[in-house]
Amino acid sequence: MSARGYAEVRSLSHHVGEEVTVAGWLESVRVHAKVSFCVVRDGTGVVQCVLPRNEVDEEAWETAVELTQESSLEVTGRVKEDARAPGGYELVVRDLRVLGPSHDYPVQPKEHGVDFLMDHRHLWLRSTSQRAVLKVRSEVTQAIHDYFHREGFTRIDTPILTGAIGESAGTLFSTDYFGETAYLAQTGQLYVEAACPAFRKVYCFGPTFRAEKSKTRRHLTEFWMVEPEVAFADSDDNMRLQEAFVSYLVERALDRCSEELKILERDTSRLESVRPPFPRMSYSDAVERLQGQGSEMEWGKDLGGADETTLAQEHDLPLFVHDYPKEAKAFYMKENPEDPRTVRCNDLLAPEGYGEIIGGSQREDDVQKLEARIREEGLPEEAYGWYLDLRRYGTFVHSGFGLGVERTVAWITGRPHVRELIPFPRLMNRLHP
């Protein structure tokens, strides 16, 4: 029961035979001579309300006949079990009252163009498919916290306004900060690295920002990333953590979001086989394979979206590609002692063409090598003094990774474009609503 005494639709099973009052929004109404049906969504579920003409009072009948889509309303009636009704219960109405009318609701139950839907994102959220994807997102983000909490990680909240470039200079949002330049965080990584000697296993989870000038279905300018960091873990340990973690997220979604995945018509058979170990391939082998298939890919370049899809399509499980060339990756990655042209890092590519869901690496723990990399990349050295301190005062082997929430949930729900996986997407050409 809510404060106002409204019953929640999801718990109508506890009230069979009783009279309850439900408050929600009108999804649809059907009027016949002797009976009307209206479908009400209260956010916890959807219930069919039946109005037998000779049992409800005339005013309630008239109100029902004139109901319009998305009006908010209050319905009082008796709860009846009915296997045919959505959710298994219906409400036999005694009284019905409009709380807030809704005229000419723009999002109709028909096909709309995507620009129209994105312009009406604030209303589109109410639709069945969008409720299902956001419910899965909510479950996955909860699962992220549960996993790291269970594994003994300490959560570290990292700053959004930062003075040092986290990833690369190419995709920065900057703002004036009392005469200095501040950047919106591209990552929380450098800060979780600092928290490692305090807590050993840490993670941050929050929004990150990249001024991506690409209009692909995998890029947002604001996206959510979870970034664990572990002391005394090398690149192999890091990949083992990733496969266990990703398998847990998939299992949680399958376990607790089966209704939503059904609504989204997700074929879950391949998701069901997601468990460790995931296949691994070195970057060099990946390049050879791509070249063998006629790709123009050259050793030294980062993999493009199409290359990633080609490689990942050969597998049912997510695929690790590891040990990329230094020049293709960020400055902080550990030089590979066996092949100094490469760094000890990995990307994790989702199957079925959903692209890179994780980027991870062992971190450079040698202060001189790290200084040299910062210089080579042309990064402002003075902003990294504190970061280098971590190598000056008790340096340690450590690794971590970042998992992008929207791409991961796109894969799990089978939605092709990341814009649906975040309530209010920010894209190169979209700041509203």
Site for ligand 4AD, rule CB under 6 A: 167, 187, 189, 210, 212, 219-220, 223, 225, 227, 356-361, 400-402, 404, 406-407, 418
Residue (23 or 403) nearer to Mg ion, CB: 403
User: Which positions lie near Mg ion, rule CB under 5 A?
Assistant: 359
For residue 269, give both structure tokens.
């058979």
Nearer to Mg ion, 24 or 359 (CB): 359
Q: Please name the helix (run of DSSP H) or strand (run of DSSP E) that holds residue 137, with its range, or none.
A: helix 128-150
Among Mg ion, ligand 4AD, none, residue 418 binds (CB under 5-8 Å by kind): ligand 4AD
Least Cβ distance, residue 358 to ligand 4AD (angstroms): 5
Rg (alpha carbons) of the chain, rounded to whole number:
26
Q: Which is nearer to Mg ion, 36 or 208 (CB)?
A: 208
Q: What are phi and psi of 394, to 5 degrees?
A: 80, 60
Q: Quick one: what does residue 227 bind among Mg ion, ligand 4AD, none, with the CB cut-off 5 to 8 Å set by partner type? A: ligand 4AD
Shortest approach of ligand 4AD to residue 363 CB, angstroms? 8
Q: How far apart are CA 194 and CA 192, in angstroms?
A: 5
401 binds, among ligand 4AD, Mg ion, none (CB under 5 to 8 A by kind): ligand 4AD
Paired residues of 398 in beta bridges:
231
Nearer to ligand 4AD, 63 or 189 (CB): 189
From residue 407, alpha-carbon distances to 4, 185, 321, 420 in Å are: 39, 19, 17, 10
CB 400 within 8 A of CB 192: yes
Q: CB–CB of 35/51 below 8 Å?
A: yes
Task: Report the nearest approach of ligand 4AD to the CB of residue 334 (Å).
Answer: 12
Residue nearest to Mg ion (CB): 359
Q: How far is the CB of 332 from ligand 4AD (least distance, A)?
A: 8
Residue 102 CB, shortest distance to ligand 4AD, in Å, is: 34
Q: Which of ligand 4AD, Mg ion, none does residue 210 bind (CB under 5 to 8 Å by kind)?
A: ligand 4AD
Phi first, then psi: what are they for 49, rounded to 5°? -110, 130
Distance between first and last Cα of the chain: 32
Which residues, including other chains, have CB under 8 Å from residue 99's CB and lie 6 or more apart? 23, 71, 72, 73, 74
In this structure, the number of other CB atoms found within 10 A of the CB of residue 169 comes to 12
Residue 120 forms beta bridges with which residues?
Answer: none
**Residue 225 binding target from Mg ion, ligand 4AD, none, CB below 5 to 8 Å by type:** ligand 4AD
Identify the three-state secondary structure at position 347: strand
Residue 351 interface partner, choices Mg ion, ligand 4AD, none, CB cut-off 5-8 Å depending on type: none
C-beta of residue 133 within 8 angstroms of C-beta of residue 409: yes
Residue closer to ligand 4AD by CB (options 93, 357) is 357
Partner touching 39 among ligand 4AD, Mg ion, none, CB below 5 to 8 Å by kind: none
Q: Smallest gap, in angstroms, from Cβ of residue 225 to ligand 4AD?
A: 5
Q: Which is nearer to ligand 4AD, 26 or 358 (CB)?
A: 358
Residues pairing with 175 in the sheet: 182
**Cis previous bond, 86, omega within 30:** no
For residues 39 and 249, which CB has a smaller minimum distance to ligand 4AD in the complex? 249
Q: How far is the CB of 359 from ligand 4AD (least distance, A)?
A: 2
CA 24 to chain centre: 27
* Shortest distance (Å) from residue 202 CB to ligand 4AD: 11
Least gap, CB of 404 to ligand 4AD (angstroms): 2
Our CB check for Mg ion shows the closer of 112 and 280 to be 280
> Which residue, among 304, 368, 371, 284, has the nearest Cα to 331 in the 3D structure?
371
Angle at 297 between CA 242 and CA 212, to 5 degrees: 60
- Min dist CB 105 to ligand 4AD, Å, is 31
For residue 78, what are the contacts with CB-CB under 8 A and spacing of at least 6?
17, 18, 19, 91, 92, 94
The binder of 187, among Mg ion, ligand 4AD, none, by C-beta within 5 to 8 A per type, is ligand 4AD
CB-wise, 318 or 359, nearer to Mg ion?
Answer: 359
Nearer to ligand 4AD, 219 or 373 (CB): 219
